[in-house]
Amino acid sequence: MTPQPQSQPTLTTPCPGLKTELLGDSFVVPESLVNEEVWLCYFETNEEDPDKIPCSPHQLSRSWINGYDISDKHLVSYNRAAETVKQSQQKFGDKHGLTGVMISLKAEPGLSVIDVDDCLNPSSGEITDIADELLTDLDDQFWEVSPSSTGLHCFLRDPQGLDESIKQDDTLELYTTRGITYTGRVVEGASKTIQNSPGLLQAYQRMYNASPSQSNSSSSTGDTHHGQGGAPSSELKNGEVKKAISRNEHLDRKLEYEKHDELRGGGRDVLSGRTERVVEAMIEHDDSAQNLYCRGSDPEVWHSWTASGNESGGSRPDRSKAEYSLINKICWWGRTAEMFDFQLEQSEIETIFVSSDIARSPSKKRREYIPRSVYSAMHDDLND
- Same-domain status, 185 and 117: yes
Whole-angstrom distance, CA of residue 164 vs CA of residue 167: 7
Percent of the chain with pLDDT over 70: 70
Q: Point out the domain boundary residue: 208, 225, 259.
A: 208
Residues 147 and 252 in one domain: no
In a domain, 18, yes or no: no
Q: Is the pLDDT of residue 294 over 60?
A: yes
- Could you tell me how many residues make up the chain? 384
- Within-domain flag for 11: no
Residue 273 lies in a domain: yes
Q: Are residues 369 and 256 in the same domain?
A: yes
The CA distance from 182 to 184, in Å, is 6
Residue 261: the pLDDT is: 62
Q: Are residues 262 and 375 in the same domain?
A: yes
Give yes or no: residues 204 and 294 share one domain: no
Domain contains 368 = yes
The average pLDDT across 134-139 equals 88
Residues 276, 190 share a domain: no
Over the stretch 50-68, which tens digit does the pLDDT of each residue have?
Answer: 788 999 999 999 988 887 7
Please give the average per-residue pLDDT across 36-58, as a whole number. Answer: 88
Task: Check whether residue 173 and residue 288 sit in a common domain.
Answer: no
Give the model's confidence band at 19: pLDDT under 50 very low, under 70 low, under 90 confident, else very high: very low
Q: Same domain, yes or no, for 137 and 268?
A: no
Contacts of 216 (CB under 8 A, 6+ apart): 233, 235
Main-chain phi, psi angles of 25, to 5 degrees: -130, 15
Q: In this predicted model, what pLDDT tens digit does every residue of 245-284 receive, in sequence order?
A: 344 444 444 445 555 566 777 788 888 889 999 998 888 8
pLDDT band at 120 (very low <50, low <70, confident <90, very high): confident
Give a yes or no: residue 51 inside a domain.
yes
- 61 and 204 in a single domain? The answer is yes
- The tally of domains found in the chain comes to 2
User: Cβ(106)–Cβ(70) under 8 Å?
Assistant: yes
- Tell me: pLDDT of 158 over 90: yes
The domain boundary residue, chosen from 193, 208, 223: 208
> Range of 270's domain?
238-382
SS3 381: helix
pTM of the prediction?
0.55
Higher pLDDT, 173 or 377: 173
pLDDT at 29: 93
Listed residues 186, 208, 230: the one ending a domain:
208
Q: Are 189 and 44 in a shared domain?
A: yes
